[in-house]
Amino acid sequence: MPVIRDEETAKVLQSCKGKDFVQLRDEAIIRLYYNTGARLSEVGNLHLEDVDLDTDSVRYRGKGNKDRRVRFGPKTARAISQYLRARAKRKGAALPDLWLAERGGRRLAPNGIKIMIKRRGLAVGLSGVHAHRWRHNFAHEWKRRGGDTGDLMLLLGWTSDDMPRHYGASAAAERAQETQLRMGIGEHV
């Protein structure tokens, strides 16, 4: 599966610029996927209590109901904070679910998030934009920057050693070529 590049993500995030509820919500969702490598269901099923803005972290419930805590960066923290302020003024603010639908005071389910992400991608001329591509990108960038495979497994909730190879395979050749250029073998003769 091809990864989604920074410039593609920037285009999708640009479609969220603004201060209305939906724009703030969508930016927070997309930044959370991109910044943490989470599964669609993990972000889609978050509750308010799962987000900790004091530690800039989120508690995901992964496969097999296994919990893990993952940190996120300042841009994601700011996006979530802005969304939470807007959320507090909405019908449905008393719901435990983190993500609210645009109308009706209901939760925004994972399938609704899936549709939103696809729609945002298409709006900026990108097809095939979905949450799982950001998960692949997270794994690719982690390995590209020299991150430890065991730490990656913990962050993404993997228990099988096959998963890092599976997720990294799509970008392994690119990483190998970058390493080859950096090493400069044969260039110092």
Using alpha carbons only, give the angle 166, 172, 176 rounded to the nearest 5 degrees.
155
pLDDT at 125: 96
pLDDT band, residue 171 (cuts 50/70/90) = low
* 169 band by pLDDT with thresholds 50, 70 and 90: low
In the predicted model, what is the mean pLDDT of the chain?
A: 90
Per-residue pLDDT at 19 exceeds 80: yes
Nearest CA-CA partner of 32 in 22, 42, 18: 42
Distance CA 175, CA 156 (A): 20
Indicate if the pLDDT at residue 32 is higher than 90: yes
| Residue range 89-104, pLDDT digits in tens | 999 999 999 999 998 8
pLDDT of residue 179: 79
Tell me how many degrees the CA angle 11-17-19 measures, rounded to the nearest 5. 165
Report the pLDDT value the prediction gives residue 112, as an integer from 0 to 100: 97
CA distances from 172 to 35, 151, 164 (A): 20, 18, 11
pLDDT single digits (tens) 65-83: 889 999 999 999 999 999 9
Q: Which residues contact 45 (CB under 8 A, 6 or more apart)?
A: 61, 110
